[in-house]
Structure 1
């Protein structure tokens, strides 16, 4: 294939943008591993990545600022909260409020739950799962004796 026809020479980068981005991402993951204590070599890996960025690639930006540990640790994996909510409702002998479902699902994992402002997002996540399941017909929405919204499992 002729070089001038397909302009191959211009497609090559001399600034290593993709490599730099990958190394900064890897450094962020190593920071997370260092914070969580999952990798005993995380600190050595971070130092090695810094040496490659500076000495080999010639990166001049602020490495620490560009590769902060932004990742959060999630309490549940994909679909796990939904399965846990369904299990709690299956085992319940009466309709449960959203807060009761949230406590039954989250407290075994060491997460505190209440209607306080700092815990409201977790209760809201459980409520969102309950609403989706109600839309699918898997969960029935009722009210309890106090007039609060309650949920019960609706077998198919």
Structure 2
């Protein structure tokens, strides 16, 4: 039988599972190394910019940089839909950071990435301010003076 299908030698796929888990761990470690290297490069660029400024360079450093491809994190309306969904399912008012944490968890992104979470919190906050202008969400202040957000559906509970 030249083209016969050979039956699996095990029914549990333990070798396959083990191999996939090993590959997953390798990729996760590689992603951490890349993220660390990227942070080093950003620090080096900042140091070079400071030295250029100290030496009297007056030009526009950003104009001298090659154009980078814009990284699209959310598609059109995707962030707003995610925010509405989080507010709709929340038990009470949420801070912008709480909404961002929920979105990170929902998307399966790395919740330990502080820079990503901080950037997303800023985006969420800006989106919520726009939603407030449109009358689609409500804002209040918690006991610590922080702004918290709720959706219209929460008020009807």
TM-score normalised by structure 2 residue count: 0.49
In our comparison, the structure showing a higher alpha carbon Rg is 1
TM-score normalised by structure 1 residue count: 0.49
